[in-house]
Structure formats: C-alpha cells, structure tokens
C-alpha cells in the first residue's frame, strides 16, 4: 500500500510550527505494530511529496499532481488539514461521484480563504463543485462557529456530532454512516487527530474537550473498512512539538495501520 508523507504546515493559520514533522514521526512508529488487529501484515511503499511551506498554492499543486496519478488505495499523512483539498480534488477527478467521511472536532467550513486553509477546505470543495454536499459525512464535531452551523444546516450536511454519538450506540452510528457511504462511487476517509479527546491525543494544535477515545475511533474505522468502495484516506493535524511521550504520533501510526 502506498503512503504519501506530506510535511505541510502552510495551510494552518496559527499553531503551525511542528506540523511539518508529523509525517516522519508517524512513519517512525509504524514499525511498532507488527500486524493489524485483523491479523494482516501491513506493507507500505512510502513516498514524500515535496512541498514549500512558504507557498501554500504551490504546495497544493504539488500534492494534486502526485495524487492524481494514484489508482490504488493510498494514505496521505500530514501535515495540516488543508492537504485534503488537493488530495480529495485529485481523488474526485479519478472517482466521479465519490464522497468524503471526515472525523474532526471542527467542520472546517469557515468563510473562504485563498488558497484554501485547514479552516475552510471543505467549504471550498463544495462551493467550487468538486464535492456534492450530499456526499459528505462529518463525525465527531463538537465546536463550530454560528456561521459554520448555518452553512451545515442550510446545505443539509450529514453531521454526527459528539453529542449525537454520545446519545446513540457506536454500532448505530456506524450502521447509519455505512448505509449512506456504500452508495457512493468511492469513499475518501479523512481523520483529523483532534477528533480524539485531548486525553488521548494531546499533540495537536486545536484541542477540544469531550472527544472520542481511541477505541471508539478504531471501532468506526474497522467498520468502515468493511465497505468495498474505500478509495483513499488521510491522517492530519498531528503536531509532535505539542505531543506528550509520542502518544499522539503513535496513535496516528495505529490509525494508518488499521486503515491499511
């Protein structure tokens, strides 16, 4: 399986220092996991995408050009969440009718920046017509602005907030997500590490209390892996400079292994 290391921090508006270190740090922990929990041996072909953290637009173009060539299931390791903009855009070109499942504490549909950042990449994908708003599922959101809530409500974007997840069983949530996503041509899974509670993932820039624990996230990933149309995934927003004993980086590596 192909892994693309993307040491991007230019798409983070603040708290960016250290994000560029995450791909190497996460990859260094892949060896800690001998098999997936299903008992499979994970084998990785690792490549780094060259980015310029002084030029976000150029970096997005470099990511797009690399991912556009990909046909087999691959995982992108960031880096800030803006990499999902070129990543999904390239994915969508090769997979018309595809959709995205985003695990994130925030919906990332702020007012648009140019080029797109980690705060608004999802909104830009929708408004430019790359992504059908019916083909989006947000999971784990627990902090958003009034304007973001209005955008989500107005566009009827499916949003399994942490409040909703806490009221329902994980099995019900997984069943509901899968019942929608199985009808897409292909599925892109994006995991922002801040979907986890800071107790389980302290090494990220925008910690939000009241998040998932690691086992809950892995359960949902294991369920989604049962879909036959998973096409690509990314793991983003790990910041080794803010980490404690590498727990967040190692969790990022665990997520990569279980997605593989």
Q: Where are the domains of the chain?
A: 2-259
Contact 67, 76 (CB under 8 A): yes
Confidence of residue 111 (pLDDT cuts 50, 70, 90): confident
* Average pLDDT rounded to a whole number, residues 151-159: 95
pLDDT at 113: 72
Tell me what percent of the residues of the chain surpass a pLDDT of 90.
Answer: 92
What average pLDDT does this structure show over 132-147? 96
Segment 58-63 shows an average pLDDT of 97
Q: Are 190 and 100 in contact (CB under 8 A)?
A: yes
What distance in Å separates the CA atoms of residue 257 and residue 141, rounded to the nearest whole number?
A: 24
What is the reported pLDDT for 117?
85
How far, in Å, CA of 260 to CA of 258, rounded? 5
Q: What pTM does this model have?
A: 0.96
pLDDT, residue 93, reads 96
Is the pLDDT at 191 greater than 80? The verdict is yes
Q: What average pLDDT does the segment 100-126 reach?
A: 89
Of 21-30, 76-85, 116-125, 206-215, least confident by mean pLDDT is: 116-125
Q: How confident is the model at residue 237 (pLDDT cuts 50, 70, 90)?
A: very high
User: What value does the mean pLDDT take over residues 72-92?
Assistant: 97
CATH number among 3.40.800.10, 3.10.180.10, 3.90.79.10, 3.40.50.300, domain 2-259: 3.40.800.10
- Say whether pLDDT at 24 is over 90: yes
Residue 97: is its pLDDT beyond 90?
yes
pLDDT at 13 over 90: no
Rounded Cα–Cα distance for residues 25 and 62 (Å): 22
Q: Is 97 helix (H, G, I), strand (E, B) or coil?
A: coil
Cross-strand pairs, 102: 138, 190
**pLDDT higher than 80, residue 62:** yes
What integer is the mean pLDDT of 145-161?
95
Residue 14 pLDDT level (bands cut at 50, 70, 90): confident
Cβ proximity of 136 and 100 under 8 Å = yes
Q: What number is the average pLDDT over the span 113-139? A: 92
Q: Which residues neighbour 27 within 8 Å (Cβ) at sequence distance 6 or greater?
A: 3, 5, 46, 77, 253
pLDDT at 50: 97
DSSP letter string over 4-46?
EE----TT-SSS-TTGGGHHHHHHHTGGG-SS-TTS-----EE
Decide if pLDDT at 112 tops 90. Answer: no
Overall average pLDDT of the 20-32 stretch = 98
> Which ranges of 53-191 would DSSP assign to H, the alpha helix?
56-67, 84-94, 121-127, 146-154, 162-167, 170-181
pLDDT score at 99 = 98
**pLDDT, position 74:** 97
């Amino acid at each position: 399986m192909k892994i693309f290391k993307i040491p991007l921090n230019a798409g983070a508006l603040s708290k960016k220092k250290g994000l560029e270190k995450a791909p190497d740090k996460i990859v260094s922990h892949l060896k800690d996991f001998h098999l997936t929990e299903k008992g499979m041996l994970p084998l990785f072909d690792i490549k780094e995408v060259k980015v310029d953290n002084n030029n976000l637009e150029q970096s997005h173009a470099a990511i797009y050009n690399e991912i556009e060539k990909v046909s087999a299931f691959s995982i992108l390791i960031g880096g800030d969440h803006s990499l999902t903009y070129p990543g999904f855009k390239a994915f969508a070109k090769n997979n018309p009718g595809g959709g995205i499942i985003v695990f994130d504490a925030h919906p990332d549909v702020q007012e648009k920046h140019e080029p797109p950042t980690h705060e608004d990449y999802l909104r830009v994908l929708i408004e430019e017509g790359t992504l059908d708003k019916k083909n989006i599922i947000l999971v784990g959101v627990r902090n958003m602005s009034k304007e973001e809530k209005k955008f989500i409500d107005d566009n009827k974007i499916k949003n399994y907030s942490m409040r909703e997840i806490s009221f329902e069983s994980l099995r019900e949530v997984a069943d509901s997500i899968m019942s929608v996503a199985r009808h897409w041509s292909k599925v892109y899974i994006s995991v922002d590490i801040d979907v986890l509670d800071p107790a389980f993932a302290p090494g990220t820039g925008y910690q939000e209390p009241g998040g998932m624990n690691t086992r809950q996230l892995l359960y949902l990933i294991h369920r989604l892996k049962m879909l036959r149309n998973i096409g690509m995934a990314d793991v983003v927003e790990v910041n080794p400079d803010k980490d404690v004993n590498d727990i967040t980086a190692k969790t990022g590596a665990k997520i990569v292994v279980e997605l593989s």
